């Protein structure tokens, strides 16, 4: 059941942050500085250090020296975004606030971003900041998904609030771990993000499970959040990599978990056939065929392979 935020004055709403970082020290510094400039206070900032090998440790120490309430969780190995957020939300359960604000290490919220999210949150359980890239404008979010008809598209409808002055809040189907706030009581009750996803889709899975519990998810137009790194351009000539493995396999898992076994079986086979056709038409290397085969096998079986092996094998 959705709790009504208007029972609390906005100024008394308590917030903690979870950030997952891996070898983006300069982006992380910018993001932490943006948190320090927030007009709404933040009580604690959990930073999950995914065994970074750059100067992330120095950046975190500097942030602590400047008085930011940063608590570092050092991971023994890189657990990916999914494993990092699983650990971060597990830690967030131990510290009681009204909201948990989750974000990657390459985003920069506007100074009033958190205040805008809280002000618009009275009827929502998870509220997404309005993400944008300076060269591409505001991003689209998924408003409706298909888990019933396997030969139709997974994403049925998208929405976009592309006017910076637009104050609307729109219902969406899934949020991302790029600037969404989640009610703490849902973080406590809902199963953690699935670490086996490693990257891609763990936030969609989490959002869908929240929706199954009756949670309402929205997009806040006035809460602006800048993505610092551009999306890498894709070309049919590109070889498939470990990222393609995770993104496609995880979609197979997502469809089976939320659409049912038969739906997932059909969708996994269709996806594998499309990938195979892509490899044939564009004359891909043997590794691309191998990735296609692993997506098909692991999508059907639910097998979670060792990410370290995949990253080393399919760079």
CA–CA separation, 175 and 182 (whole Å): 10
Residue 134 has a pLDDT of 87
Identify whether residues 222 and 248 lie together within a single domain: no
- Same-domain status, 173 and 264: no
Instruction: Give a yes or no: residue 233 inside a domain.
Output: no
Residue 232 within any structural domain of the chain: no
Looking at residue 7, what is its pLDDT?
52
For residue 100, being part of any structural domain is answered with yes
Same structural domain, 109 and 170: yes
Indicate the residue among 227, 262, 285 that finishes a domain: 227
285 in any annotated domain: yes
In this structure, the answer to whether residues 73 and 141 fall within a common structural domain is: yes
Domain boundary among 227, 257, 288: 227
Number of structural domains (the chain) is: 2
Instruction: Report the sign of the C-alpha dihedral through residues 297, 303, 306, 311, in that order.
Output: positive
Please tell me the distance from the alpha carbon of residue 47 to that of residue 70, in angstroms, as a whole number.
7
Nearest to 35 by CA among 87, 90, 112: 112
Q: Is residue 308 part of a domain?
A: yes
**If we measure between CA atoms, which residue out of 157, 202, 210, 162 comes closest to residue 182?**
210
**Both 159 and 41 in a single domain?**
yes
Residues 198 and 158 in one domain: yes
Question: What is the domain extent for residue 265?
Answer: 242-313
DSSP 237-280: TSPP-HHHHHHHHHHHHHHHHHH-HHHHHHHHHHHHHHHHHHHH
191 shares its domain with 278: no
- Best CA proximity match to 252, nearest among 289, 304, 210: 304
21 with 112, same domain?
Answer: yes
Amino acid 8: pLDDT: 64
Is 247 in the same domain as 120? no
Co-location of 69 and 39 in the same domain? yes
CA distances for 117 relative to 2, 221, 237, 268, 308, angstroms? 16, 9, 41, 37, 37
Structure confidence at residue 27 (pLDDT): 98
Does 203 share its domain with 254? no
**Any domain includes 235:** no
Q: Is residue 236 part of a domain?
A: no
CB count within 10 Å of CB 119 equals 18
Same domain, 61 and 194: yes
Q: Is residue 260 one of the residues assigned to a domain?
A: yes
Angle at 170 between CA 167 and CA 174, to 5 degrees: 135
User: For the domain that residue 41 is a member of, what is the CATH number?
Assistant: 3.90.550.60
What DSSP state is assigned to residue 4?
P
CA atoms within 13 A on the CB side of 129: 27
- Tens place of pLDDT for every residue, the chain, 315 residues? 344 444 567 779 999 999 999 999 999 999 999 999 999 999 999 999 999 999 999 999 999 999 999 999 999 999 999 999 999 999 999 999 999 999 999 999 999 999 999 999 999 999 999 999 988 899 999 999 999 999 999 999 999 999 989 999 999 999 999 999 999 999 999 999 999 999 999 999 999 999 999 999 999 999 999 999 988 777 788 899 999 999 999 999 999 999 999 999 999 999 999 999 999 999 999 999 999 999 999 999 999 999 999 999 997
């Amino acid at each position: 059941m959705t709790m009504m935020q208007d029972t609390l004055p906005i100024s008394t709403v308590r917030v903690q942050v979870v950030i997952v970082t891996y070898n983006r020290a300069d982006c992380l510094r910018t993001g932490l500085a943006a948190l320090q400039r927030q007009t709404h206070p933040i009580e604690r900032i959990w930073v999950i250090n995914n065994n970074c090998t750059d100067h992330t440790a120095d950046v975190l120490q500097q942030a602590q020296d400047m008085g930011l309430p940063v608590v570092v969780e050092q991971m023994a190995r890189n657990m990916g975004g999914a494993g990092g957020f699983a650990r971060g939300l597990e830690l967030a359960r131990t510290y009681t606030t009204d909201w948990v604000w989750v974000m990657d290490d390459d985003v920069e919220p506007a100074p009033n971003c958190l205040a805008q999210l809280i002000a618009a949150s009275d009827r929502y359980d998870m509220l997404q900041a309005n993400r944008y890239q300076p060269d591409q404008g505001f991003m689209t979010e998924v408003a409706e998904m298909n888990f019933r008809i396997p030969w139709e598209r997974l994403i049925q409808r998208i929405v976009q609030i592309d006017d910076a002055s637009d104050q609307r809040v729109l219902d969406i189907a899934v949020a991302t771990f790029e600037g969404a706030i989640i009610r703490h009581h849902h973080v406590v009750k809902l199963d953690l993000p699935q670490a086996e996803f490693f990257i891609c889709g763990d936030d969609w899975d989490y959002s869908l499970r929240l929706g199954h519990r009756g949670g309402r998810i929205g997009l806040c137009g006035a809460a602006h959040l800048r993505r610092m790194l551009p999306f890498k351009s894709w070309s049919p000539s590109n070889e498939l990599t470990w990222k393609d493995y995770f993104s496609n396999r995880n979609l197979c898992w997502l469809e089976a978990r939320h659409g049912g076994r038969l739906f997932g079986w059909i969708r996994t086979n269709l996806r594998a056939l499309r990938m195979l056709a892509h490899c044939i038409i564009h004359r891909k290397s043997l590794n691309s065929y191998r990735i296609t085969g692993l997506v098909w096998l692991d999508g059907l079986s639910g097998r979670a392979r060792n990410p370290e092996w995949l990253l080393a094998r399919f760079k």
